Amino acid sequence: MPTQDEFFMEQAIALAQQARTQGNEPFGALLVRGGTVVMTGENKIHTFSDPTYHAELGLIRQFCSEQRISDLSEYTLYTSCEPCIMCSGAMVWSKLGRVVYSVAHEQLAEIAGGSIMIGSAEVFAHSPHRPQLTEKVLNEQGLKVFDGYSF
């Protein structure tokens, strides 16, 4: 029986695959509060011609705007890949309670052919707010989304 983190990570990974199928980059995320998914998001940088429309940032922006809140301290964000520096910043500024990811930035850098970002733990370490971080949940399954993919 999967843990709660694994249960929600399976959904984030499925969203990443969906994003890839729709011609976007293979990243997906979901926001959870009290064991309930309150919003999902996927990378839509090609759909919207917006290089900042990452799964995590788009989800945080939309949810906070729709709910008219800016404090996500009671929420967990599950994401298929470790957040980039931009998305990690959004997590800091929204006071996100917890972030759980599957694929680490070092693994993504290897897939993409270079170091493409600073790890979220490093961003959080230098920030006024530090979300709790859980790493590499369903890592092998998360890596499969990138099979045959090139950036």
Choice among 6, 10, 25, 56 that is catalytic: 56
Question: Catalytic residue at 56?
Answer: yes
- Secondary structure of the chain in the HEC alphabet? CCCHHHHHHHHHHHHHHHHHHCCCCCCEEEEEECCEEEEEEECCCCCCCCCCCCHHHHHHHHHHHHHCCCCCCCCEEEEEECCCHHHHHHHHHCCCCEEEEEECHHHHHHHHCCCCCCCHHHHHHCCCCCCEEECCCCHHHHHHCCCCCCC
Q: What positions carry a catalytic annotation?
A: 56
